[in-house]
A = this chain, B = another copy of it.
């Protein structure tokens, strides 16, 4: 399939990205140069459009800086880099671990709990440097520090981890058949960010449904 070519104005119209932003991305090297037809005019194709759509997701959905976006597209364009590593780079750029406050002394205990869950789930290959692991440890330490530990147990954490794995498998299944690496990363970014929000909302809905069963007294029988 021949790639359609277009001028800057059409690239802007189709992608929904302003000409000023496209020029910025060209200057910053986020977007590869077009094929020049004269010193002031160049032609762009579908790969530029796909890259712009990816950059837009990284900026607007994930709120990343140009420097973080640069690291991701450099990784994508490096033929030596596996797609898996680009996914890791993207994940590291997106995930922020809240500053610990008061939970410092519970950190070791939290690490042991997370180790127990990883072993229970058989999560071989879970890297200790994964920022998501740091987020889990910080959160468990905070739960311990604020005194909610009676509710915290390996079985409860394992229920969370099992649910997380079900969702992660469903997420990845949606990416398996996509041929273009730019599009894989674009969808992975959108789902990493918005999937959390989806899960949070659905968990809130499930809380209502389940607690209605458990916490509402049955209506009194009329004598």
Are A126 and B167 neighbours in the complex by a CB distance under 8 Å? no
CB < 8 Å neighbour of A200 from B134, B191, B196, B212? B196
Complex CA–CA separation, A171 to B53 (angstroms): 39
Copies of this protein, total: 2
A125 at the interface (CB under 8 A from B): yes
Q: Which residue on chain B has the smallest CB distance to residue A53?
A: B147
Are B169 and A210 neighbours in the complex by a CB distance under 8 Å? yes
Chain B residues contacting A147 (CB-CB under 8 Å) are 53
A4 at the interface (CB under 8 A from B): no
Of A19-27, A28-36, A37-45, A84-92, the one with at least 4 CB within 8 A of chain B: A84-92
CB < 8 Å neighbour of A205 from B60, B61, B123? B123
| 30 pairs from A and B in contact (CB 8 Å cutoff) | A82-B217, A84-B212, A84-B216, A88-B208, A91-B207, A123-B209, A132-B205, A136-B202, A139-B198, A143-B191, A148-B186, A148-B190, A150-B187, A151-B191, A156-B170, A159-B166, A159-B167, A159-B169, A160-B198, A163-B163, A164-B206, A165-B210, A166-B166, A168-B210, A172-B207, A176-B214, A192-B204, A195-B203, A196-B200, A199-B200
